[in-house]
Structure 1
Amino acid sequence: MHILAHGIDIVRVHRVQHSIEEYGEKYLARVFTDVERAYAEDRPRRRFEHYAVRFAAKEAALKCLGTGWSQGIAWTDVGVVHDANGAPWLTVTGVAKRFADELGVKAWHVSLSHTDDLAMASVIAEG
Protein backbone atom coordinates (compact mmCIF):
# COMPACT_ATOMS: atom_id res chain seq x y z
CA MET A 1 0.00 0.00 0.00
CA HIS A 2 1.05 3.61 -0.47
CA ILE A 3 0.02 7.09 0.60
CA LEU A 4 -2.64 8.54 -1.69
CA ALA A 5 -3.14 11.83 0.15
CA HIS A 6 -2.32 13.66 3.36
CA GLY A 7 -4.60 16.33 4.82
CA ILE A 8 -3.89 18.58 7.80
CA ASP A 9 -6.18 21.05 9.52
CA ILE A 10 -5.95 23.32 12.53
CA VAL A 11 -8.92 24.90 14.31
CA ARG A 12 -9.24 27.49 17.04
CA VAL A 13 -11.19 25.85 19.85
CA HIS A 14 -13.11 29.03 20.65
CA ARG A 15 -14.63 29.10 17.14
CA VAL A 16 -16.15 25.64 17.57
CA GLN A 17 -17.20 26.54 21.11
CA HIS A 18 -18.94 29.65 19.79
CA SER A 19 -20.84 27.62 17.18
CA ILE A 20 -21.96 25.11 19.82
CA GLU A 21 -23.08 27.85 22.19
CA GLU A 22 -24.78 29.82 19.42
CA TYR A 23 -26.57 26.97 17.60
CA GLY A 24 -26.67 24.20 20.21
CA GLU A 25 -28.25 20.87 19.36
CA LYS A 26 -28.87 21.82 15.73
CA TYR A 27 -25.14 22.38 15.15
CA LEU A 28 -24.05 19.32 17.13
CA ALA A 29 -26.44 16.99 15.27
CA ARG A 30 -25.44 18.37 11.87
CA VAL A 31 -21.67 18.21 12.38
CA PHE A 32 -20.87 15.36 14.79
CA THR A 33 -21.77 11.67 14.89
CA ASP A 34 -23.43 10.20 17.96
CA VAL A 35 -20.16 8.48 18.89
CA GLU A 36 -18.23 11.75 18.64
CA ARG A 37 -20.80 13.56 20.73
CA ALA A 38 -20.79 10.89 23.43
CA TYR A 39 -16.99 11.00 23.60
CA ALA A 40 -16.89 14.79 24.02
CA GLU A 41 -19.81 14.96 26.45
CA ASP A 42 -18.21 12.27 28.65
CA ARG A 43 -15.24 14.64 29.10
CA PRO A 44 -16.87 17.92 30.15
CA ARG A 45 -13.70 19.68 31.30
CA ARG A 46 -12.22 19.53 27.78
CA ARG A 47 -15.49 19.15 25.87
CA PHE A 48 -14.90 21.94 23.37
CA GLU A 49 -11.35 20.75 22.65
CA HIS A 50 -12.67 17.29 21.81
CA TYR A 51 -15.30 18.72 19.47
CA ALA A 52 -12.76 21.04 17.82
CA VAL A 53 -10.22 18.28 17.14
CA ARG A 54 -12.94 16.15 15.56
CA PHE A 55 -13.95 19.10 13.40
CA ALA A 56 -10.30 19.40 12.30
CA ALA A 57 -10.19 15.66 11.49
CA LYS A 58 -13.25 16.01 9.26
CA GLU A 59 -11.66 18.93 7.39
CA ALA A 60 -8.35 17.06 7.00
CA ALA A 61 -10.11 13.97 5.65
CA LEU A 62 -11.98 16.00 3.04
CA LYS A 63 -8.69 17.56 1.97
CA CYS A 64 -7.49 14.01 1.29
CA LEU A 65 -10.54 13.40 -0.87
CA GLY A 66 -10.09 16.71 -2.68
CA THR A 67 -13.80 17.47 -2.51
CA GLY A 68 -14.27 19.91 0.34
CA TRP A 69 -17.83 19.89 1.64
CA SER A 70 -19.39 19.93 -1.80
CA GLN A 71 -20.97 17.19 -3.85
CA GLY A 72 -23.38 15.98 -1.19
CA ILE A 73 -20.91 15.04 1.53
CA ALA A 74 -22.39 15.39 5.02
CA TRP A 75 -20.36 16.39 8.07
CA THR A 76 -21.34 13.10 9.69
CA ASP A 77 -19.98 11.09 6.75
CA VAL A 78 -16.60 11.42 8.50
CA GLY A 79 -16.21 10.54 12.17
CA VAL A 80 -13.58 9.79 14.79
CA VAL A 81 -13.84 6.68 16.96
CA HIS A 82 -11.36 5.17 19.41
CA ASP A 83 -10.06 1.63 19.79
CA ALA A 84 -9.80 -0.20 23.11
CA ASN A 85 -6.45 1.50 23.82
CA GLY A 86 -7.82 4.97 23.10
CA ALA A 87 -6.14 5.40 19.71
CA PRO A 88 -8.25 7.42 17.24
CA TRP A 89 -9.56 5.90 14.01
CA LEU A 90 -11.42 7.52 11.16
CA THR A 91 -14.76 6.24 9.92
CA VAL A 92 -15.88 7.26 6.45
CA THR A 93 -19.43 6.53 5.29
CA GLY A 94 -22.05 7.75 2.85
CA VAL A 95 -21.04 9.97 -0.04
CA ALA A 96 -17.54 10.50 1.41
CA LYS A 97 -16.97 6.73 1.31
CA ARG A 98 -18.00 6.63 -2.32
CA PHE A 99 -15.34 9.24 -3.16
CA ALA A 100 -12.78 7.37 -1.04
CA ASP A 101 -13.56 4.12 -2.85
CA GLU A 102 -13.19 5.84 -6.23
CA LEU A 103 -9.74 7.10 -5.16
CA GLY A 104 -8.76 3.63 -4.02
CA VAL A 105 -8.51 4.39 -0.30
CA LYS A 106 -7.98 1.13 1.61
CA ALA A 107 -7.10 2.56 5.04
CA TRP A 108 -7.21 5.82 6.95
CA HIS A 109 -4.71 7.02 9.55
CA VAL A 110 -5.46 9.91 11.89
CA SER A 111 -3.45 11.77 14.49
CA LEU A 112 -5.09 14.32 16.79
CA SER A 113 -3.65 16.94 19.11
CA HIS A 114 -5.24 19.77 21.04
CA THR A 115 -4.63 22.41 23.68
CA ASP A 116 -7.14 24.72 25.31
CA ASP A 117 -6.78 27.07 22.31
CA LEU A 118 -5.92 24.98 19.23
CA ALA A 119 -6.94 21.64 17.77
CA MET A 120 -5.00 19.92 14.98
CA ALA A 121 -5.60 16.79 12.93
CA SER A 122 -3.46 14.98 10.41
CA VAL A 123 -5.16 12.41 8.17
CA ILE A 124 -3.50 10.04 5.72
CA ALA A 125 -5.40 8.15 3.05
CA GLU A 126 -3.64 4.93 2.12
CA GLY A 127 -4.29 2.91 -0.99
Structure 2
Amino acid sequence: MHIRLEFCAKSIRQTERAILKGGKAFLDAHFTAREHHYCGSKKMKFEHYAVRLAAKQAFLKLVGSLHPERHRISLTKTSRARRFPYREVEIFRTGFGNPEIRYSGRIKRHLAAAGKFRFEVSLAHERRQAVAAVVMINSPG
Protein backbone atom coordinates (compact mmCIF):
# COMPACT_ATOMS: atom_id res chain seq x y z
CA MET A 1 0.00 0.00 0.00
CA HIS A 2 1.29 3.45 -0.94
CA ILE A 3 0.00 6.67 0.58
CA ARG A 4 0.59 10.16 -0.78
CA LEU A 5 -0.58 13.47 0.65
CA GLU A 6 -1.00 16.83 -1.04
CA PHE A 7 -1.98 20.17 0.51
CA CYS A 8 -3.19 23.27 -1.28
CA ALA A 9 -4.18 26.71 0.00
CA LYS A 10 -6.15 29.34 -1.89
CA SER A 11 -6.69 32.99 -1.11
CA ILE A 12 -10.40 33.59 -0.73
CA ARG A 13 -9.99 37.17 -1.95
CA GLN A 14 -8.18 36.04 -5.13
CA THR A 15 -10.81 33.39 -5.75
CA GLU A 16 -13.55 35.99 -5.36
CA ARG A 17 -11.78 38.30 -7.83
CA ALA A 18 -11.36 35.49 -10.35
CA ILE A 19 -15.05 34.58 -10.11
CA LEU A 20 -16.23 38.19 -10.37
CA LYS A 21 -13.90 38.86 -13.32
CA GLY A 22 -14.49 35.58 -15.14
CA GLY A 23 -18.17 35.25 -14.35
CA LYS A 24 -20.09 32.30 -15.72
CA ALA A 25 -17.20 31.22 -17.97
CA PHE A 26 -14.90 30.85 -14.95
CA LEU A 27 -17.53 29.01 -12.92
CA ASP A 28 -18.37 26.67 -15.82
CA ALA A 29 -14.69 25.87 -16.40
CA HIS A 30 -13.93 25.08 -12.76
CA PHE A 31 -17.10 23.76 -11.12
CA THR A 32 -19.85 21.28 -11.82
CA ALA A 33 -23.48 22.40 -11.77
CA ARG A 34 -23.95 20.71 -8.37
CA GLU A 35 -20.93 22.54 -6.93
CA HIS A 36 -22.14 25.85 -8.32
CA HIS A 37 -25.59 25.27 -6.82
CA TYR A 38 -24.13 24.28 -3.44
CA CYS A 39 -21.60 27.12 -3.18
CA GLY A 40 -23.97 29.71 -4.62
CA SER A 41 -26.55 28.88 -1.95
CA LYS A 42 -24.14 29.62 0.91
CA LYS A 43 -23.82 32.95 2.72
CA MET A 44 -20.01 32.79 2.40
CA LYS A 45 -20.01 31.40 -1.13
CA PHE A 46 -16.48 32.50 -2.04
CA GLU A 47 -15.05 30.51 0.88
CA HIS A 48 -16.84 27.42 -0.41
CA TYR A 49 -15.64 27.99 -3.98
CA ALA A 50 -12.06 28.61 -2.80
CA VAL A 51 -11.86 25.47 -0.67
CA ARG A 52 -13.15 23.40 -3.60
CA LEU A 53 -10.52 24.89 -5.89
CA ALA A 54 -7.86 24.04 -3.31
CA ALA A 55 -9.11 20.45 -3.07
CA LYS A 56 -9.23 20.09 -6.85
CA GLN A 57 -5.69 21.40 -7.24
CA ALA A 58 -4.37 19.05 -4.56
CA PHE A 59 -6.22 16.13 -6.18
CA LEU A 60 -4.97 17.02 -9.68
CA LYS A 61 -1.37 17.22 -8.44
CA LEU A 62 -1.70 13.69 -7.06
CA VAL A 63 -3.34 12.36 -10.21
CA GLY A 64 -0.77 14.08 -12.42
CA SER A 65 2.07 12.54 -10.44
CA LEU A 66 1.07 8.98 -11.35
CA HIS A 67 2.58 9.01 -14.85
CA PRO A 68 4.61 12.22 -15.09
CA GLU A 69 6.27 11.07 -18.32
CA ARG A 70 2.92 10.63 -20.07
CA HIS A 71 0.51 13.02 -18.36
CA ARG A 72 2.13 16.25 -17.33
CA ILE A 73 -0.14 18.49 -15.37
CA SER A 74 0.03 22.26 -15.30
CA LEU A 75 -2.11 24.37 -13.04
CA THR A 76 -1.37 27.51 -15.02
CA LYS A 77 -3.01 28.82 -18.17
CA THR A 78 0.04 28.01 -20.31
CA SER A 79 -0.72 24.41 -21.21
CA ARG A 80 -4.45 23.90 -20.91
CA ALA A 81 -4.47 21.05 -23.43
CA ARG A 82 -2.23 18.89 -21.24
CA ARG A 83 -4.01 19.23 -17.94
CA PHE A 84 -7.08 17.49 -16.68
CA PRO A 85 -10.20 19.67 -16.61
CA TYR A 86 -11.33 20.95 -13.22
CA ARG A 87 -14.91 20.08 -14.17
CA GLU A 88 -13.98 16.39 -14.20
CA VAL A 89 -13.45 16.65 -10.43
CA GLU A 90 -16.34 17.27 -8.07
CA ILE A 91 -16.04 17.98 -4.36
CA PHE A 92 -19.28 17.11 -2.61
CA ARG A 93 -20.62 16.31 0.85
CA THR A 94 -22.04 12.93 1.75
CA GLY A 95 -25.32 12.57 3.60
CA PHE A 96 -23.26 12.66 6.81
CA GLY A 97 -21.58 15.93 5.80
CA ASN A 98 -18.17 14.44 5.00
CA PRO A 99 -16.39 15.85 1.93
CA GLU A 100 -15.65 13.40 -0.87
CA ILE A 101 -14.18 13.50 -4.36
CA ARG A 102 -15.98 12.30 -7.47
CA TYR A 103 -14.13 12.21 -10.80
CA SER A 104 -15.01 11.39 -14.39
CA GLY A 105 -13.79 11.53 -17.98
CA ARG A 106 -10.06 11.51 -18.70
CA ILE A 107 -9.22 11.45 -15.00
CA LYS A 108 -11.32 8.32 -14.42
CA ARG A 109 -9.66 6.56 -17.38
CA HIS A 110 -6.21 7.68 -16.23
CA LEU A 111 -6.76 6.35 -12.71
CA ALA A 112 -8.26 3.08 -13.98
CA ALA A 113 -5.14 2.49 -16.08
CA ALA A 114 -2.82 3.39 -13.20
CA GLY A 115 -4.25 1.02 -10.58
CA LYS A 116 -6.65 0.91 -7.62
CA PHE A 117 -6.89 4.16 -5.69
CA ARG A 118 -8.92 5.59 -2.86
CA PHE A 119 -8.99 9.28 -1.97
CA GLU A 120 -9.74 11.09 1.28
CA VAL A 121 -10.21 14.85 1.47
CA SER A 122 -10.29 17.38 4.29
CA LEU A 123 -11.49 20.97 3.82
CA ALA A 124 -11.11 24.07 5.98
CA HIS A 125 -11.47 27.81 5.52
CA GLU A 126 -11.33 30.96 7.55
CA ARG A 127 -11.65 34.60 6.64
CA ARG A 128 -8.65 34.83 4.29
CA GLN A 129 -7.54 31.34 3.31
CA ALA A 130 -9.08 28.07 2.23
CA VAL A 131 -7.03 24.90 2.61
CA ALA A 132 -7.51 21.33 1.51
CA ALA A 133 -5.61 18.12 2.11
CA VAL A 134 -6.07 15.14 -0.19
CA VAL A 135 -4.72 11.69 0.60
CA MET A 136 -4.26 9.15 -2.20
CA ILE A 137 -4.13 5.51 -1.10
CA ASN A 138 -3.00 2.93 -3.63
CA SER A 139 -4.29 -0.53 -2.86
CA PRO A 140 -2.11 -3.21 -4.49
CA GLY A 141 -3.77 -5.90 -6.51
The one-letter code of the counterpart of 1:68 is I
Alpha-carbon RMSD? 1.5
Q: CA shift at 1:72, angstroms?
A: 4.8
Question: Residue type matched to 2:16 in 1?
Answer: Q
Superposition pairs of residues 37-56 of structure 1, within 5 angstroms = 37-43=36-42, 45-56=43-54
Residue deviations 1:81-106, cap 9 Å, x none?
Answer: 11111110001111112222233243
Identity %: 27
Aligned residue runs from structure 1 range 26-105, under 5 A: 26-43=25-42, 45-65=43-63, 66=65, 67-69=72-74, 71-105=82-116
Distance 1:51 1:6 in 2: 21
Q: SS where residue 36 of structure 1 aligns?
A: helix
CA distance in 2, matches of 1:11, 1:105: 29
TM-score (norm 2): 0.82
Contact 2:73–2:83 (Cα < 8 Å) also in 1: no
SS of the equivalent of 1:95 reads helix
Given the two structures, how large is their TM-score scaled by the length of structure 1? 0.90
Runs of 4+ more than 4 Å apart: none
Q: Where does the alignment leave 5 or more consecutive residues of structure 1 unmatched? A: none
Gaps of 5+ in 2: 66-71, 75-80
Partners in 2 of 1:107 and 1:118 — Cα distance? 27
